[in-house]
């Protein structure tokens, strides 16, 4: 996989430039896919568990009457000037207000402050469920395709996966706005994370002949009878979306493992809240009733997003650098995804600096990286494993054993970022906010030119001190001290942080806050396993077909004199090195010095942290011929730069060794 490098257009700033044209779609096509076997099984189990029909919650208000008179543009009418992704400048505040309330985890999880009674009141007809789905959704001409009409502020909360295309109006998911005319986007809503919620935003920029336009649009996707039914539901503020089945190497690879075969189905706790027998079920989308809240954003989170967006629009000099911190399981990752998605409504790129070794966003665990995000994050991390611009393989899910190495790696990654770039930077941090962990946060704020610090916390007790500018002046860091600047190395002298920054506080008050999930697929170690499987799924072919077990794939043959072997997290005797690295995950790294051999394998006495271009599975060692057999999705042109294989504490998922068909991993 090639590294995505940002290309700066000479003479044109990259901040907030129009990216609408980049996300326009061509004609929509989809494959004719079979119905989900998981869905059929779930329906049968549900029907067997209860004899009476599940209760449904009807819409309190009927759809508005459709005006039959043709509406023309008024004379002298001028549409809003559009920014990136089709969002108008005057619609920014409305966009922040339109974001749904925010939750993290499959339980109802809020990131919010104290809500007023008005904010907590339910909007009539806000959730599409029950019989309403039968009236607002129709199956497409092609098998398993569906078209859905949503009124403004209506939501669809679901489990499953699909490809969404906005045919008419606007919809929002995870902070990202999808406008008509844009390309299609994949949506992933597995049981391991909070269910996704699609929200209709309507169309408010100009008056249009809704019935005629909708009929013309639906002609390509629905039969005449189905089209007639849906057109009656269209109003001037409606949105029409096309949902297609989603079948990728990732989903096929994950479903090949028994314990993950129902990853995209509702967990047991949600089975009684599923809405079955709708036109959406056949394509792999399982709607959820309103008692499952899904993602929610409330006032404190909305205010923080608004502050950051306004700052990125030009309230500060240079680019915004936002550092997010808080205890474990408090919602940092979900907040960051929504923040990135919201920023992508206005700018083509967002830089992301990964500082959380245990719960990484774009790479397998144990990595620190600098990535340029160009596409919205519409699923959990294992669904968007990509090659970062720059990466260091730390090799552990925690940095407790080498704090200096952790800080030096992050500083080296920051140096690789062009300082002339004017796009926002998001910095993710670990959930370690006590002792040395807190001192590392102090150092990061001093080392990096941070403009905004977002603190996520919960309850009335204080998990850690608020890292305000006043507090930072007297705070003790791990490498820095408050009384003198001499403790800062030359890195700080050339990249002096601003004298002050904005501190924002987001309060989390959901049930189970700061405790990791206990349901299937929701524990931290299971999330790390999914990250690794997501990365290894890149070894599968893009063509539809059966999943190929890893031991049936043809590996690269690497001479043991061309690359060095090293272990990051512990000491291993040279005589035991082959036993340690065989059938293990290794980082493909690039040492600064040239690897020289005297005719045998090269063993590093002490492994050092160095640039990493990807990962591979060392599936076998031929000592007689002096060869390593390596499986990796990294492009061969990039592999030529690799001269070191590093073993860390990140292990292959056990299912790779035990659950593959005819699995004999090492012959």
For residue range 51-86, list pLDDT tens digits in order: 444 443 333 443 343 333 333 433 333 333 434 444
CA pair distance 428, 472, nearest whole angstrom: 19
Q: Which of 145, 144, 149 is nearest to 128 (CA)?
A: 149
pLDDT at 409: 96
Q: Is the separation of the CB atoms in 331 and 104 below 8 Å?
A: yes
Kindly tell me if the per-residue pLDDT of 44 is higher than 60. no
pLDDT for 646 = 96
Closest CA to 356 of 378, 317, 330: 330
For residue 5, the model assigns a pLDDT of 41
- Report helix, strand or coil for 135: helix
Instruction: Single out the residue of 535, 517, 34 nearest to residue 267, CA to CA.
Output: 517
- The pLDDT assigned to 83 comes to 41
Decide: helix, strand or coil at residue 415. Answer: helix
Tokens 């009684």 belong to 272
Angle at 607 between CA 606 and CA 608, to 5 degrees: 115
Distances (CA, A) of 65 to 234, 562, 592, 594, 660: 9, 73, 70, 74, 56
The domain spans of the chain are 131-287, 299-481+499-507, 549-659
> How high does pLDDT run on average in the chain?
80
Band the pLDDT of 188: cuts 50, 70, 90: very high
- In tens, the pLDDT along 142-166 reads 778 999 999 999 999 999 999 999 9
Mean pLDDT across 561-573: 93
Distance of CA 581 to the CA centre of its chain: 31
pLDDT for residue 575: 92
Which tokens hold the place of 51? 């004899």
The answer on pLDDT for 105 being more than 80 is no
pLDDT for residue 204: 60
Distance (Å, whole) CA 388 – CA 428? 15
Q: Is residue 348's pLDDT more than 90?
A: yes
What distance, in Å, lies between the first and last C-alpha atoms of the chain? 29
Q: What percent of the chain has pLDDT over 90?
A: 55
Q: How far is CA 20 from CA 93, 129, 130, 242, 320, in A?
A: 19, 32, 36, 20, 22
Q: How confident is the model at residue 608 (pLDDT cuts 50, 70, 90)?
A: confident
Task: Give the confidence band of 464 by pLDDT, cuts at 50, 70, 90.
Answer: confident
pLDDT at 396 over 80: yes
CA 317 to chain centre: 28
**Overall fold of domain 299-481+499-507:** Rossmann fold (3.40.50)
DSSP character for 480? Answer: -
User: What's the predicted TM-score (pTM) here?
Assistant: 0.82
Q: Mention every residue, 6+ apart, whose C-beta is less than 8 A from residue 637.
A: none
- Contact indicator for 410, 323 with CB cutoff of 8 Å: no
Q: Place 653 in a pLDDT band, splitting at 50, 70 and 90.
A: very high
pLDDT of 317 strictly over 90: no
Average pLDDT over residues 402-410: 96
Taking alpha carbons only, the member of 133, 135, 156 closest to residue 226 is 135
Q: Which pLDDT score, from 0 to 100, does residue 86 have?
A: 43
DSSP for 310-346 reads HIIIIISSS--EEEEEESTTSSHHHHHHHHHHHHHTT
Q: Class for domain 131-287, per CATH?
A: mainly beta
At residue 135, the pLDDT reads 87
131-287 and 299-481+499-507: identical CATH topology: no
Length of the chain equals 667
623-628 long-range Cβ contacts below 8 angstroms, 24+ apart: 623/578, 626/559, 626/560, 626/561, 626/600, 626/601, 627/557, 627/558, 627/559, 627/560, 628/557, 628/558, 628/559, 628/560, 628/563
The helix or strand, by DSSP H or E, that contains position 470, with its residue range, turns out to be helix 469-472
Residues 613 and 122: their CA atoms lie apart, in Å, by 49
**Counting Cβ atoms within 10 Å, is residue 519 exposed (0-12), middle (13-18) or buried (19+)?**
middle
Q: Is pLDDT of 421 > 70?
A: yes
**Which residues, in sequence order, are CB contacts of 550 under 8 Å at separation 6+?**
536, 539, 617, 619, 631, 656, 660, 665
Mean pLDDT for the stretch of residues 426-454: 95
273 DSSP assignment? G
What b/e readout covers 308-342, taking b as 16+ CB neighbours within 10 angstroms?
bbebbbeebeebbbbbbbbbbbbbbbbbbbbbbbb
No. of H helices and E strands in the chain?
A: 17, 23
Residue of 575 and 40 predicted with greater confidence: 575
Domain 549-659 carries which CATH code?
2.40.30.330
Among 388, 379, 397, 630, smallest CA distance to 529 is for: 397
């Amino acid at each position: 996989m090639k590294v995505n490098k940002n290309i700066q257009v000479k003479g044109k700033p990259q901040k907030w430039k129009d990216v609408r044209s980049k996300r326009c779609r061509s004609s929509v096509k989809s494959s004719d896919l079979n119905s989900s076997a998981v869905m059929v099984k779930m329906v049968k189990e549900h029907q067997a568990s209860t004899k009476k029909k599940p209760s449904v919650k009807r819409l309190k208000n009927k759809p508005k009457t459709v005006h039959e008179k043709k509406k023309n543009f008024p004379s002298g009418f001028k549409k809003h000037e559009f920014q990136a992704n089709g969002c108008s400048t005057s619609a920014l505040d409305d966009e922040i207000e339109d974001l749904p309330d925010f939750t993290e985890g499959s339980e109802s999880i809020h990131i919010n402050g104290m809500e007023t009674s008005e904010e907590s009141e339910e909007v009539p007809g806000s959730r599409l469920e029950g019989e309403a789905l039968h009236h607002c959704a129709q199956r497409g001409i092609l098998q398993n395709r569906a078209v859905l009409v949503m009124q403004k502020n209506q939501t669809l909360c679901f489990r499953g996966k699909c490809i969404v295309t906005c045919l008419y109006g606007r919809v929002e998911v995870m902070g990202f706005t999808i406008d008509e005319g844009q390309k299609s986007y994949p949506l992933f809503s597995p049981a391991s994370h909070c269910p996704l919620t699609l929200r209709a935003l309507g169309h408010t920029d100009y008056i249009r002949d809704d019935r005629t336009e909708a009929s013309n649009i639906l002609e390509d996707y629905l039969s005449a009878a189905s089209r007639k039914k849906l057109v009656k539901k269209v109003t001037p503020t409606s949105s029409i979306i096309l949902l297609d089945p989603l079948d990728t190497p990732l989903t096929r690879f994950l479903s090949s493992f028994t314990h993950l075969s129902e990853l995209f189905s509702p967990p047991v706790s949600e089975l009684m809240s599923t809405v079955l027998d709708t036109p959406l079920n056949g394509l792999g989308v399982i709607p959820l009733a309103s008692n499952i809240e899904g993602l929610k954003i409330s006032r404190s989170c909305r205010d923080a997003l608004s502050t950051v967006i306004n700052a990125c629009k030009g309230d500060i000099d240079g680019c915004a650098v936002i550092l997010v911190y808080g205890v474990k399981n408090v919602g940092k990752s979900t907040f960051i995804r929504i923040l990135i998605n919201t920023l992508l409504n206005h700018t083509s790129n967002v830089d992301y600096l990964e500082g959380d070794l245990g719960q990484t966003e774009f790479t397998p665990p144990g990595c620190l990286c600098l990535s340029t995000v160009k596409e919205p994050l519409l699923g959990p991390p294992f669904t968007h494993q990509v090659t970062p611009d720059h990466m260091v393989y730390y090799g552990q899910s925690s940095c407790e054993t080498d704090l200096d190495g952790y800080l030096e790696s992050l500083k080296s990654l920051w140096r690789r970022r062009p300082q002339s770039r004017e796009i926002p930077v998001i910095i993710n941090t670990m959930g370690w906010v006590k002792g040395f962990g807190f001192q590392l946060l102090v150092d990061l704020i001093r080392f990096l030119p941070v403009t905004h610090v977002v603190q996520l916390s919960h309850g009335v007790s204080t998990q850690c001190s608020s890292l305000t500018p006043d507090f930072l002046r007297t705070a003790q860091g791990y490498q820095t001290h408050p009384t003198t600047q001499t403790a800062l190395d030359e890195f700080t002298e050339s990249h002096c942080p601003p004298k002050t920054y904005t501190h924002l506080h987001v309060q989390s008050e959901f049930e189970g806050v700061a405790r990791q999930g206990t349901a299937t697929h929701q524990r931290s170690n299971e999330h790390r396993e999914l990250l690794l499987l997501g990365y290894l799924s890149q070894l599968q072919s893009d063509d539809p077909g059966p999943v190929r077990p890893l031991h049936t794939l043809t590996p690269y043959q690497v001479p043991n004199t061309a690359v060095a072997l090293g272990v990051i997290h512990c000491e291993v005797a040279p005589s035991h090195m082959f036993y340690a690295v065989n059938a293990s995950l290794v980082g493909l790294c690039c040492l600064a010095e040239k690897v020289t051999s005297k005719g045998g394998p090269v063993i590093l006495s002490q492994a050092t942290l160095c640039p990493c271009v990807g990962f591979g599975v060392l599936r076998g060692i031929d000592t007689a011929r002096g060869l390593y057999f390596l499986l990796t999705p990294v492009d061969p042109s990039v592999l030529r730069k690799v001269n070191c294989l590093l073993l860390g504490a990140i292990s292959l998922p056990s299912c790779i060794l035990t659950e593959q068909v005819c699995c004999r991993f090492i012959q």
